[in-house]
Amino acid sequence: MEINYLTAHKLKDRLKKKEISSTEITESVYSRIEAVEEKLNSYIRLEKKSALKKAAEVDKYIGSGGEISDFTGIPLAVKDNICTKGVITTCASKILENYIPVYNATVIEKLEKQDYVLVGKANMDEFAMGSSNENSHFGPVKNPWDTSRVPGGSSGGPAACVAAGEAICSIGSDTGGSIRQPASLCGVVGFKPTYGMVSRYGLVAFASSLDQIGPFTRDVEDCAALLNVICGHDKNDSTSISGEVPDYKKYLEQDIKNLKVGVPRELMVEGIDREVKEAVEAALKMVEEMGGSVEETSLPSLEHALSVYYIIAPSEASSNLSRFDGVRYGYRNMEQKTLRKMYRRSRAEGFGNEVKRRIMIGTYCLSAGYYDAYYEKAQRVRTLIINDFKKAFKKYDVLISPTSPTTAFKIGERTEDPLTMYLSDICTIPVNLAGLPAVSIPAGLSGGGLPIGVQIIGNIMREDNVLRTARRLEEAIGFVGRPEL
């Protein structure tokens, strides 16, 4: 297999045996990028020069007997809403087109300690708002399996580049499904950890009570290894969970005999593709064959999850994005003679339509006279949703559902109809509202050759159950598909 398609753990073995160098790995990734990037647009910015320099340093270090960690010398892509010191971080927005962070996000600091190689900053929906990666100021990302289709969003770039061999792994963020849904549509593994497991310091905030950073990988083993690196308490993020981080890799060996699986009726939604449903049912059968039990269940308040999300997320966004005022950083319209006009012109010209739409929804929901009916009501219903999950996890170890009700849709198909686009997040959104860990793993290909994802949801801080289920299912499914480009 080509070097750029190997997993990080296989590459680590070869680096250890000195069968390969980080420079060779990095070069193979860039030669793939040169071959396919024009078709995909996975990246907003490539850092080839500094990446090759870093790889050479790593090779020297390894040559002199230096210790090799799981991601030493491994080329990773980073979603462009995660601050990289000295490297432009745009959030795929015109308003941050020239923004150069003066500090690193905590996850970047952690990766740098491992001596990873930064390939580039991956494309995304502007400010992580979208489910198709069509809302980028730098153009849409295409799905590597069919370039007339979307890769999902908002982490379309991080998903597409891993699926296409343009990076070994990547880091994204998930507010309502932005890791899991694109992972599903691109046929890779995407994990959203428990809220607070990964520091959000340096992640440009969209909806602070929902945002979480997580990995994209080509197998569950790399996923666990990357979780080991990025998880952990951070004093710079007061919502981060304190305490020791377990070694997630140890859960990969555990079996799923006697695993109790619930299948929420509300997530086997109406309008789900027949092939998606069949793939999930096939996965459930495999769980049973491995000694687990499967039962249909109901979480009735999930009926309201989408509405709750589309009140809370835009409300938090409207507040978070008020910082973009053309004063301290970001785009400013220089023509205006008074402050207020400068604010308005800069924001009107700097933000794209979907971002404005969400700021408007959020501002409306928080405005005098509507706060109780929308925002506060939504937070009450959120409590009901959390309670439903709590009840379900008294009975089940994990919940299994489709990740996305459909496979990748056509570019342009849903852009004029924001509500239909919002509905595509129906299976992933409840997980963020309750802060739960969940993964999407590839469950096969549709007849049309498009990847299907299955979602495994765990209780708060029960990444262990999610990972062992994912690993056993990954073995049983045996997905080896690779896009032809």
Could you list the active site residues? Answer: 79, 154, 178
422 binding other proteins? (CB under 8 A)? yes
- Per-residue binding string, other proteins, 224-263, x by CB under 8 A, is -----------x--xx-x----------------------
Sheet holding 75-79, edge to edge: 43-46, 117-122, 75-79, 169-174, 212-217, 189-192, 438-445, 451-458, 398-402, 260-264, 293-297
What is d(CA 117, CA 296) in angstroms, rounded to the nearest whole number? Answer: 44
Select from 234, 325, 425, 474 the one that contacts other proteins (CB under 8 A): 325
Which tokens belong to 407?
A: 């496979």
209 binding other proteins? (CB under 8 A)? yes
**Only segment of 28-36, 173-181, 351-359, 445-453 that touches other proteins (CB under 8 A):** 351-359
Q: Which residues contact 184 (CB under 8 A, 6 or more apart)?
A: 152, 190, 402, 403, 404, 440, 442, 451, 452, 453, 455
Check if the beta carbon of residue 153 is closer than 8 Å to that of residue 182. Answer: yes
To the nearest whole angstrom, how small is the minimum distance from the Cβ of residue 328 to other proteins? 6
- Nearer of residues 69 and 336 to other proteins, judged by Cβ: 336
394 binding other proteins? (CB under 8 A)? no
> Three-state DSSP class for 44?
strand
Number of residues that bind other proteins (CB under 8 A): 70
- Nearer of residues 195 and 479 to other proteins, judged by Cβ: 195
419 binding other proteins? (CB under 8 A)? yes
Select from 247, 298, 323, 360 the one that contacts other proteins (CB under 8 A): 360
The residue among 127, 179, 168 whose CA lies nearest residue 362 is 127
| Distance set, CA 281 to CA 96, 294, 298 (Å) | 44, 10, 17
Select from 384, 445, 476, 477 the one that contacts other proteins (CB under 8 A): 384
What is d(CA 343, CA 333) in angstroms, rounded to the nearest whole number? Answer: 8
- Nearer of residues 137 and 347 to other proteins, judged by Cβ: 347
The residue among 433, 429, 473, 436 whose CA lies nearest residue 457 is 436
310 binding other proteins? (CB under 8 A)? yes
- Per-residue binding string, other proteins, 169-208, x by CB under 8 A, is --------------------------xx------------
The residue among 267, 47, 293, 256 whose CA lies nearest residue 177 is 267
**Only segment of 219-227, 336-344, 397-405, 444-452 that touches other proteins (CB under 8 A):** 336-344
To the nearest whole angstrom, how small is the minimum distance from the Cβ of residue 211 to other proteins? 12
* 118: Cα within 13 Å, side-chain hemisphere: 26
Single-letter code of the amino acid located at 306: L
The site for other proteins (CB under 8 A) is made up of: 98-100, 102-103, 195-196, 209, 235, 238-239, 241, 301, 304, 306-308, 310-311, 318, 322, 325-332, 334, 336-345, 347-348, 351, 356-357, 359-361, 363-364, 367, 373-374, 376-384, 386, 418-419, 422, 433-435, 460
